[in-house]
Amino acid sequence: MQVGSRWALALGDEPIWDIALEPQTQRRVIVGCGSTIYVVNAANGEIEGKYTEYHEDTIHAVAWGKDAEDNDIIATGGKDKTVIIWEMHNELLQPRVKFQHASSVQKIKFSPNKPGRLISCAVADFGFWSPDAKDVTKTSVSNRITDVVWDPKGAHIAYVTEKGKISICSSAKGNEIRKIEHKGKFVWTINWIEDASGQEVLLVYDWTPSITMYNVATGQLLKAVKTIDFNPCCSSPLQKLPYIGVGGSDGELTLLTREGIKLTKLDSGRSSFVWSVAAREIAGKQEIISGNQEGRLASHTIALGKVHGMYNKFYATRMKLTSIEVTDLEDPFGERAIVRSREIIDKIALSEDLLVAQSREKIKVWQRKDALGNSYEYLTMFQVPEATSLIICAAQNVLVCIGDRISSYHVNGAISREWVMSSPVRYMKMLPGPIGGELCLVGTESGAVFKIFINQSFPIEVQSVRDAVYVCDLSQYREKLLIVDEKNLLSVFDIYTNELLYQEPNVTSATWNSDEDDLLCFTTMDMLVIKAGEKTVFTQKLKNLQRVVGFSKDTVYLIDGEEIDTVQVPQTGAIEDPQRGAPKPVALNRPRHKSASLRRRRQS
């Protein structure tokens, strides 16, 4: 996972208590800083509107919804006890109506599916407003309301007081349906979500500090309280992902799982408190917009990236950041092994019997329990430096690379050997060998390729090219070496004579067949090519910038960054005998391996 800052904007020296995204497009946000309302472009941070003469005191809450005609409708409320309803005409806000509470307004939220319906909460009461209502009927409360949420269907609301009392109320009349007595005090934020099974869940964040999960239907505690390391003040679930952006004390702005597992920390600008967050998804990319104590509004980008590993027909990929799914690519609809790490997984490595995952400074190792690869059992864990660039594994060893240094760890955590290369390592591949004596092929930034036997102390340089190595591989009998450099030039060498056998330009990746010594597969930007010796015997058009990652028997494995494909190629004619003419290419596409939820939906 990579996080970054997209833009930051100083709006003033007073706290930004709330943020509201424009519905549907999410192109803009409404924020309040002091008594001023700002309309800000969410993509670049430009201020598109500023309104200073409408609230007499600090703005605590903002909301943005749609009315029955799909027109924008905005609400703002604050310390002056006033809620103002705004319309937008020609990109400008115009006040439409206002109403009063008996105390300072704390939170306002529009219904997710009832156009224009608003819940407005003050220190001592709450009420519902709708465009066709003549007045707002208030319901008194005994303690200060700190947050309110709608259920996903808009039929109920849940509000929480600073002392931890949670009330589930009907959105029709506001009458209390269920009460939850939360033991934690100083609750500032809650979320009403659906879990993977469709069960409605209430997440409660308090200043113990902790996160608690309740079943909305019964009010019962679902999971043990999860302690966190800061006082949470605001939260926003990410769209289409089971993660939540949470801001709070000490300027903390963090991405958590719904179970409270800390995934990564975002930069909040050294603030004392982060008081507001809003999660935004644009073109499949996640962003979090935050507002802090010092009046700073900022946008943070989150790139989840693909984390995966492969060994022969077994493919391991990260799921939901903290779990691993292992798939047998020859049996795409068969049973899959699911391994839960409960920490964010940064890197994955796979061998015949081991599954390895790095989570920051930890290496966790699981051992396969059966030949089918359907289940793994936890084996061990040991510490490594966090700043690793590559990891691979053998039968009993895990090789960890940092810059130009490769360290071999036994699965018990002890370092057995270390090697220092002539320049930073760009690529490593583990090749078969006797247990404890496997061969690691290493490509470096200087263009040199080395063989390292993990039970020997000295690397052996076997070849070098002019540019940095991107991919390298040895043929089945280890008589030929392929190198793809960073300028996309494929070079094939004879290991014994160092003779350059041939070259191919514009190559994105390449690999030898693991069962046929002279078969090589490479991909360009739009083509898959198979060569037998120096003769091209098969070509096929590619899509989505696919690149080859494996070639076994008659199956080519392709990946495009998000999905892996298996493509079956003919094993007759020229592929069996390079002296014959090439057969007419006929490829059989096997099923694509998408997310588990899509697979289950397809089978049902």
Higher per-residue pLDDT: 228 or 582: 228
Mean pLDDT, range 455-462, rounded to an integer: 96
Mean pLDDT, range 38-55, rounded to an integer: 96
Residue 304 has pLDDT above 80, yes or no: no
pLDDT at 514: 93
Task: Tell me the one-letter amino acid at 39.
Answer: V
Please list, in sequence order, all residues whose beta carbon lies within 8 angstroms of the beta carbon of residue 78, skipping any fewer than 6 positions away.
Answer: 32, 35, 55, 57, 58, 59, 60, 61, 104, 105
Higher per-residue pLDDT: 602 or 210: 210
> d(Cα 44, Cα 280) in Å, to the nearest integer?
13
Pairing of strands 125-129, 118-122: antiparallel
Residue 97 has pLDDT above 80, yes or no: yes
Higher per-residue pLDDT: 149 or 595: 149
Residue 587 has pLDDT above 70, yes or no: no
CATH class, domain 14-140, is mainly beta
pLDDT at 448: 98
Say what percent of the chain tops pLDDT 90: 71
Task: Tell me the pLDDT tens digit for each residue of 285-303.
Answer: 899 999 999 999 999 998 8
The mean predicted confidence, pLDDT, of the chain is 89
pLDDT at 600: 32
pLDDT at 602: 33
pLDDT at 588: 34
Q: Mean pLDDT lowest for which of 139-143, 202-206, 314-318, 597-601?
A: 597-601
Higher per-residue pLDDT: 579 or 354: 354
Task: Tell me the pLDDT tens digit for each residue of 433-455.
Answer: 999 999 999 999 999 999 999 99
pLDDT at 601: 30
Mean pLDDT, range 9-24, rounded to an integer: 95
* DSSP state string for 329-392: TTSTTS--EEEE-SS---EEEE-SSEEEEEETTEEEEEEE-STT---EEEEEEEE--S--SEEE
Q: 119 falls in which pLDDT band (50, 70, 90)?
A: very high
> d(Cα 278, Cα 288) in Å, to the nearest integer?
6
Task: Tell me the one-letter amino acid at 103.
Answer: S
**Tokens of residue 404, six digits:** 């130009």
Residue 189 has pLDDT above 70, yes or no: yes
* DSSP state string for 432-449: --STT--EEEEEETTSEE
3-state secondary structure of 193: strand
Q: 263 falls in which pLDDT band (50, 70, 90)?
A: confident
Residue 591 has pLDDT above 60, yes or no: no
Residue 373 has pLDDT above 70, yes or no: no
pLDDT at 258: 82
Q: SS3 string of 322-343?
A: CEEEEEECCCCCCCCEEEECCC
pLDDT at 185: 78
pLDDT at 268: 60
Please list, in sequence order, all residues whose beta carbon lies within 8 angstroms of the beta carbon of residue 339, skipping any fewer than 6 positions away.
Answer: 323, 324, 325, 326, 355, 357, 366, 376
**Distance in angstroms between the alpha carbons of the first and the last residue of the chain:** 32
pLDDT at 318: 92
Q: Mean pLDDT lowest for which of 234-238, 385-389, 469-473?
A: 385-389
Residue 371 has pLDDT above 80, yes or no: no
Residue 395 has pLDDT above 80, yes or no: yes
Residue 73 has pLDDT above 70, yes or no: yes
**Tokens of residue 315, six digits:** 């493919």
**Tokens of residue 190, six digits:** 């809650």
Higher per-residue pLDDT: 570 or 436: 436
pLDDT at 571: 67
> d(Cα 113, Cα 122) in Å, to the nearest integer?
23
Say what percent of the chain tops pLDDT 70: 93
Indicate the Cα dihedral angle 161, 167, 168, 174, nearest 10°: -90
> d(Cα 107, Cα 290) in Å, to the nearest integer?
17
Higher per-residue pLDDT: 58 or 225: 58
Q: Mean pLDDT lowest for which of 159-163, 301-305, 308-312, 385-389?
A: 301-305
pLDDT at 473: 98
3-state secondary structure of 594: coil
Task: Tell me the one-letter amino acid at 358.
Answer: Q
Q: Where are the domains of the chain?
A: 14-140
pLDDT at 367: 95
The residue count for the chain: 604
> d(Cα 490, Cα 485) in Å, to the nearest integer?
7
Mean pLDDT, range 44-55, rounded to an integer: 95
Q: 544 falls in which pLDDT band (50, 70, 90)?
A: confident
Q: 269 falls in which pLDDT band (50, 70, 90)?
A: low
Buried b (16+ CB within 10 A) or exposed e, 375-403: ebeebeebebeeebebbbbbbbbbbbbbe
pLDDT at 348: 97
CA 429, 433, 438, 439 torsion-angle sign: negative
pLDDT at 483: 98
